[in-house]
Amino acid sequence: MADTTQSGPMLAADGSPLKRSLSRTLRRQKLRALLLIAPLLIFVLVTFIIPIVSMLFRSVENQIVSHTLPQTVEALQEWDPNSGEPPDEAVYQALFFDMFKAAEAKRHTQVGNRLNYEQPGLSSMFRGTGRSLDDMGEEFEDALVDIDPSFKTSEFWFELLSGEGADSFLKDRRAKLAAMAGESMRGDIGFAPSAKALELLPATTEAYTDFAIWTAIVEEDVVAEERPWEAVYAGLGVDLRSAEVVQQIASYDGPGAAALKAAVANIDQLPQESFRDMFAESDEDWLDTEGWRTMALYSPDYTTGYFLNSVDLQKTIEGVEARPETQQIYIKLFIRTLYMSLIITGACILLGYPVAWILANLPLRTANVLMILVLLPFWTSLLVRTSAWKVLLQQQGVINEILVWLGFVDDANRLIIMNNATGTIIAMTHILLPFMILPLYSVMKTIPPTYLRAAKSLGATNWTAFWRVYFPQSVPGIGAGSILVFILSIGYYITPEIVGGTDGVFISNRIAYHISSSLNWGLAAALGTILLLVVLALYWCYDRIVGIDNVKLGG
Amino acid sequence: MKLTTTLMASTALVVAAGSAFADDHAKMADSMTVVSWGGAYQKSQQNAYTIPYAEKHDGLEVIWDESSAEAVAKLRAMDEAGSVTWDVVDVVAADALRLCDEGLAIEIDPEKDLAAAPDGTSAEEDFGELLVGDCFIPQIVYSTTFGYRTDMVPEGADAPSQICDVFDLEKYPGKRALEKRPINNVEWALLCDGVAKEDVYDVLATEEGQQQALDKLATIKDEVIWWSAGADTPQLLADGEVFMGSTYNGRLFAAIEEQKQPIGMMWDAQVFDLDGWIIPANLPEDRLKRAMDFVKFATDTQRLADQAKYISYGPARASSAPLVGQHAELGIDMAPHMPTDPNNAANTFLYNYEFWADYRDDIDAKFQAWLAQ
Amino acid sequence: MLDSQSSDAFVAFERVQKSYDGEILVVKDLNLSIPKGEFLTMLGPSGSGKTTCLMMLAGFETATHGKILLDGVSINNIPPHKRGIGMVFQNYALFPHMTVAENLSFPLEVRKLGKSDREAKVKRALDMVQMGDFGGRRPAQLSGGQQQRIALARALVFEPELVLMDEPLGALDKQLREHMQFEITNLAHDLGITTVYVTHDQTEALTMSDRVAVFDDGRIQQIDAPDVLYESPKNSFVAQFIGENNTLVGTVKEIKGEIALVELDDGELIDCKPVNVSAVGDRTLVSIRPERVEFDKNRLKKGTHTIKAEVLEFIYMGDIFRTRLRVAGNDNFVIKSRNAPDQVRLTPGETIEIGWLPEDCRALDAP
């Protein structure tokens, strides 16, 4: 028997502490409840939360530059953007090796496109130079092969650079390549770089290791049997430019020593041209500091650039400044979107309130028939409805024809009610009206008619009874309808695109453009994020002013 | 028929089960998703390409998707999701270039992957400079040009025939329809603002040149209805909403010859553009083989000439031009309606892919800001 | 049977009829006059037309025919908000978006009273219903009884001379209801206002009213003070509707002045007071209240007819005993006896003789 007089924790019948027993039971209940909602939770998470998080991430993410051109970005740290001079040879040299690999993975054009959003011209510069990289490397290759034919064979390179003791180096190269290509570089490559070779010929070993990883894992070929990249020859060329390396080769007696010594002996036959000149030859804009400034500015992994662009600002070396007036558009579009959405919401309230009132006060059977009419537009596609408005609103359209026929409008001065803001407001009010009527109706349905009677019995006129008693109780419906209509209209772009002309388009049209045409998803994400924040801010204001408890979708 | 299909299917199964030995002989997929633009254009492709192709390849299922307008964005999204469902995609050359840049389309070797002309001329030579970029397989040449309402030409004036008539509101009052993007519009504007044709892109590469083009466009801005879908201008012309407007020449052909609308063509300063196929990157082996096989068939000399029976776009091969015949239903000669016909091509532009790849975003931003002013 | 038109009537219905669909009359030829200061209850089963009458008086329904007069003036064409009648609704209809004070202030505001005036009156009205501290609350924060008081206060705050109440206590529990009945009556009498009260609860009607109008089938069946109504129902509907009642069916054998001899269907004879019977041979429904039945022979008047009864059930109810009997074939004949020390407790199975004073046994119309 349990001792009931004991002090200390209460015990359950089985002797375990009551608290633990209770929490175990509760936990089991919670777990079961969680399992029950798990499918929905996962669904919401996958389809709702993740896209939003990924959008937020995309709006600041900028890893493509540092991942594709890691050594260039590193070398560029040394460069002073305000010097007015292009960066020194080390940067161009790093750029050659980075870009060579990027071109193999077809990533260099993506960096070009990314940077082209910030400065026009970089796209073709990267694309064009990508094609001449092989030629640059071939100059080294041809010269070396001329000096000693063994440079031509794949075994030579494999033997020269194979060895051991450089595992961490290999790991580092794998990681860099994986980041650049965006795929895993794990797996056996049938090659291990030698620590000695790395010490003697750093650029060569690096280029060959990259080649080996790429060949084995991506191309799925045998490293020892493949001719190395032109970049490996260029690597050797670079190494041989160092007097120290030349000196050490003299005392080198490992594999391939003869060929290396021959190369040293004929060093004047190797291309002497600097990489800077080679790049300049491919495209003289490589000497332009503007492009390098842009690259330096957008080399960090994360950037505020997209957000700055979204509010008509731009990043420069000197700091943040306003965009030229000829390019300012987003602030204007944000304001226009909010302003026109407000007008549309207002129009929906004005038109929807009486309709909802009639619906709520009719006998149920009649109300149901009318409700079908309200919902009817949902059964036709948005495109069809909007196109129907085109037929109605255009200058030779139905409305103008009727007005001219009735003599309200002169034939020569037909109303312009399409391809402008008016067209957008008319068409969107029509399309969004049901979203106002439905919540209004369901809230009005719950207001008993006795309130109006009570108000009248207390001496209120019909208007006062409505305004002081009925209307305040329908405000939650207006709130819910307004939130729905406003948020929906803020995100609309199909209707404004068709009937909005130039001054009736919304910020969403630009977002759609950046998603599907310019492919500037980062900017689209930033614009979308700002839109989301604006909506949240407005929601917060609404909560502050009206109170979110005061929103009802029904009952 | 049914028996053969079953037999073939079971053979395929056997082959698939024991096909470790035969990568080269891997079977081609028996369904293929082709992406195009819908409408009359897609119809012409079905008639000229997929129907004859399916006749040769029994049991092949061709699925059409009308998503070419968003092809680049969708392919990029599919690639990010790791599942590309399209096999052959019809895109304009600019998009093909972009897809190639992004690594979303495979590179094509014209010698190996495309059919030579009947006379033995290599594909590379036959397509000539229309082989834009490394991934693009040209199919047709179309042009963006102007149409006008013949019944709305002011009395006493000649029908408009020069590109600069678009900018001449005094001689030709009335609304114009222009595409809601800078491409083509700014070239025409500069051309009519005294810039020589060969200097247009040099001028456009400068801030001042861009402003000059926008300023010229500003002179007619109040009279412009901006379109964003190719069907808009023919409709606006048909409704009498505009006097003249730019659109694709095939759309104007349909409005004039098929629907008998009172519309005239104005070929001056038409801008040539190319449309063709790309094959998405990272397709499974069997689907890739099918796509390559189809594309080789669909871009041979006869097939390209056949397409011109259904739509007035010029075949991209030089060797196809002499084979262009009559419209399949109207029975009229198609050659005079081709944008490439010498009578029409006195003054033309070729869409400058390089330039627009670089300047598209920049000038578009300025153009949109200008529109919103 | 109906009240004659008196000139001092404050509220008067004159030949009022009401039909919603043009086919059925919900209110049939209603004549009613209510003097100033009276507390009148309209009692009846649902569908009897009582609420329709109230709504016509309030102005929410229009009379199809006839005249409704308020203080001698026809109000048929006066809209409800100009009638100046206070009203308490079944579910109180307190405005949920206003505080208690704002609810009370509302009728004063629409009458354009000044702020200080309003505040004084609201305070007085709240104090009147002992809710002085609740001005700042919302209706939803109040209990049912409190809401009831506020609804009452709101109906009285603009000092109407006539107050209508539409089953105002229906939603309250028994105890609270009894308490409120008492309060409302007191308040109405203290203020001297005329009250028209609609209910289907006969106890409420009897305890509260100066007069009760019993409605059935669109007509007033009887209108009288509660005691008269209870003790002298004029027809079988009223007798059965008001209070508990034993009924026996028989034929009139003989009428001698105030006494009618009725032969029940099993042949027993009883003495009754003829109310609704006029001739020998009429079928009649005889009505006797349970508390007026005697079974102690010592207490019965000599010469009274008694009849045999078999005890079926005895129920102890605390203050009273309730005994169910079989009388003349009626198994539901109930008698009530006071729980006094000398009271006899009957046992089931026992056969007894029961009787009553002839004036307590009313011979009414046969249904």
Q: Does A363 lie at the interface with C, CB-CB under 8 angstroms?
A: no
Q: What pLDDT, on a 0 to 100 scale, did the predictor assign at position C2? A: 41
Cα A462 to Cα A191: distance, rounded to the nearest angstrom: 92
pLDDT in tens, A32-56: 989 999 999 999 888 888 988 998 9
Query: Sign of torsion, CA A342 A346 A351 A353?
Result: positive
Backbone dihedral angles phi then psi of residue A130, each to the nearest 5 degrees: -55, -35
Give the amino acid at C309: A
User: B228 contacts in A (CB within 8 Å)?
Assistant: 497-498
Any CB–CB contact under 8 A between A461 and chain C?
yes
**Rounded-to-integer distance, Cα C31 and Cα C66, Å:** 9
ipTM score assigned to the predicted complex: 0.86
Query: Is the CB of B101 less than 8 angstroms away from the CB of A518?
Result: no
Range name among A6-15, A257-266, C143-152 with the lowest pLDDT average: A6-15
Identify the three-state secondary structure at position B180.
coil
User: Are chains B and A touching, using the cut-off of 8 Å on CB pairs and a minimum of 3 such pairs?
Assistant: yes
Name residue A192's amino acid: A
Distance to chain C for A458, nearest Cα, Å: 5
Instruction: Give the residue among A419, A436, A381 at the shortest CA–CA distance from A505.
Output: A419
Determine the 3-state secondary structure of B191 from DSSP.
helix
* Minimal-distance CA residue of chain A relative to B105: A106
Q: Given an 8 Å threshold on Cβ–Cβ distance, is B358 in contact with A124? A: yes
pLDDT digits (tens, 9 = 90+) for A417-459: 989 999 999 999 999 999 999 999 999 999 998 999 999 999 9
Residue B26 pLDDT level (bands cut at 50, 70, 90) = low
**pLDDT one-digit tens code per residue, B128-177:** 989 988 999 999 999 999 999 999 999 988 999 999 999 999 999 999 99
Residue C112, number of CB atoms within 10 A of its CB? 8
pLDDT in tens, C145-174: 899 999 999 999 999 999 999 999 887 888
Per-residue confidence (pLDDT) for residue C245, from 0 to 100: 87
Concatenated DSSP letters of C241-305 = HSS--EEEEEEEEEEETTEEEEEETTS-EEEEEESS--STT-EEEEEE-GGG-B--GGGSPTT--
Looking at the complex, does the CB of residue A437 fall below 8 Å from at least one CB of chain C?
no
C110·A460 Cβ contact <8 A: yes
Determine whether the interchain pair C107/A450 forms a contact, defined as Cβ–Cβ distance below 8 Å: no
C334: helix, strand or coil = strand
Instruction: Give the model's pLDDT for residue A6.
Output: 53
- Residue recorded with tokens 């633990």: A20
| Tens digits of residue pLDDT in A490-511 | 999 989 998 988 888 999 999 9
Dist CA B259 CA B248 (whole Å): 16
pLDDT tens by residue, C62-87 = 999 999 999 989 999 999 999 999 99
Select from A239, A272, A233 the least CA-distant residue to A146: A233
Q: Residue A323: is its pLDDT beyond 70?
A: yes
For residue A466, list chain C residues with Cβ-Cβ distance below 8 A: none
| C104: nearest Cα among C94, C112, C113 | C94
Inter-chain contact A116–B361, Cβ cutoff 8 Å? yes
Is C206 within 8 Å of C226 (Cβ atoms)? yes
- Average pLDDT rounded to a whole number, residues A302-316: 93
Whether A329 and B76 lie within 8 Å, measured CB to CB: no
Q: Tokens standing for A187?
A: 């797996």
Chain B environment of A117 (Cβ under 8 Å) = 361
Please tell me whether residue A194 adopts helix, strand or coil conformation: strand
pLDDT band for position A543 (cuts 50, 70, 90)? confident
Provide the total of helices (H) and of strands (E) in chain C, helices listed first: 8, 19
Half-sphere exposure in the Cβ direction for B251 (13 Å, CA): 23
- The reply to whether residue C95 touches residue A465, judged by beta carbons under 8 angstroms, is no
Percent of chain B with pLDDT strictly greater than 90: 74
pLDDT band at C7 (very low <50, low <70, confident <90, very high): low
- The torsion of the CA quartet A205, A210, A213, A218, rounded to 10 degrees, works out to -150
Residue of C nearest to A471 (CA): C97
Q: What is the pLDDT of residue C300?
A: 76
Instruction: Kindly state whether A456 is in contact with chain C, defined as any CB-CB distance less than 8 angstroms.
Output: yes
Put simply, whether A460 touches C (Cβ < 8 Å) is: yes
Question: Distances from the Cα of A64 to the Cαs of A110, A300, A519, B102, in angstroms?
Answer: 8, 9, 15, 12
Residue ranges of alpha helices (H) inside A408-520 are: 421-445, 450-457, 462-464, 471-490, 494-499, 507-516
Residues 6+ apart with CB under 8 A from B146: B160, B163, B166, B244, B245, B246, B265, B266, B268
> Rounded CA gap, B286 and B186, in Å?
45
Which residue among A116, A502, A520 sits closest to B358, beta carbon to beta carbon? Answer: A116
CA distances from A281 to A113, A120, A233, C101 (A): 21, 20, 20, 88
pLDDT tens track for B49-80: 999 999 999 889 999 999 998 999 999 999 98
Q: How many beta-carbon contacts under 8 Å exist across A and C?
A: 66
How far does B267 lie from chain A, in Å, by closest CA? 26
Among candidates B328, B307, B290, which has minimal Cα distance to B63? B290
DSSP code for B255: I
**pLDDT score recorded for residue A17:** 82
Neighboring chains of B (3 or more beta-carbon pairs < 8 A): A
Yes or no: say if C197 and C189 are a contact pair by the CB < 8 Å rule.
no
Q: What is the distance in angstroms between the Cα of A465 and the nearest Cα belonging to chain C?
A: 10
Closest CA to A495 of A426, A407, A408, A392: A426
**Shortest Cα distance from C107 to chain A (angstroms)?**
5
In this complex, do A502 and B372 lie within 8 Å of one another by their Cβ atoms? yes
A82-116 confidence digits (pLDDT tens): 888 999 999 999 999 999 999 998 899 999 999 99
> How far B251 CA sits from the closest chain A CA (Å)?
19
CB contact under 8 A, A465 and C81: yes
Beta-strand relationship, C269-274 and C283-288: unpaired
Q: Give the list of residues 6+ apart from residue B46 with CB closer than 8 angstroms, or none.
A: B64
Provide the token pair at A39: 């499918």
Q: How many other β-carbons are positioned within 10 Å of the β-carbon of residue A241? A: 16
How is residue C3 annotated by DSSP?
P
CA–CA distances in Å: residue B173 to residues A210, A270, B154, B244, C233: 65, 69, 8, 10, 97
The 3-state DSSP class for residue B348 equals strand
> Which pLDDT belongs to residue C99?
94
Categorize the per-residue pLDDT at A7 as very low, low, confident or very high, splitting at 50, 70 and 90: low
A316 forms bridges with which residues in the sheet? Answer: A319
- CB-facing half-sphere around the CA of B315: CA atoms within 13 A: 29
In angstroms, the CA C285 to CA C328 distance is 13
**What DSSP assignment string belongs to A128-171?**
HHHHHHHHHHHHHHHHHHHH-GGGGSHHHHHHHHB-SB-HHHHH
Q: Facing residues of B186 across strands?
A: none
**Which amino acid is residue C330, in one-letter code?**
N
Chain A: closest CA distance from residue B192 (Å): 22
Q: Residue range C136-140: average pLDDT?
A: 92
Touching pair A, C by Cβ (3+ pairs < 8 Å): yes
Q: What is the C-alpha to C-alpha distance for residues B109 and B87, in angstroms, rounded to an integer?
A: 18
**Which residues on C lie below 8 Å from A447 (Cβ)?**
none
The closest alpha carbon to B306, from B89, B45, B34, B64, belongs to: B45
Angstrom distance (rounded) from CA C27 to CA B372: 70
What's the whole-number mean pLDDT along residues A155-176? Answer: 92
Of B193 and A19, the one with more pLDDT: B193
Residue A110 and residue B102: Cβ atoms within 8 Å?
yes
The angle at the Cα of A45, spanning A44 to A51, to the nearest 5 degrees, equals 105
pTM for this entry = 0.84
Q: Shortest Cα distance from C94 to chain A (angstroms)?
A: 7
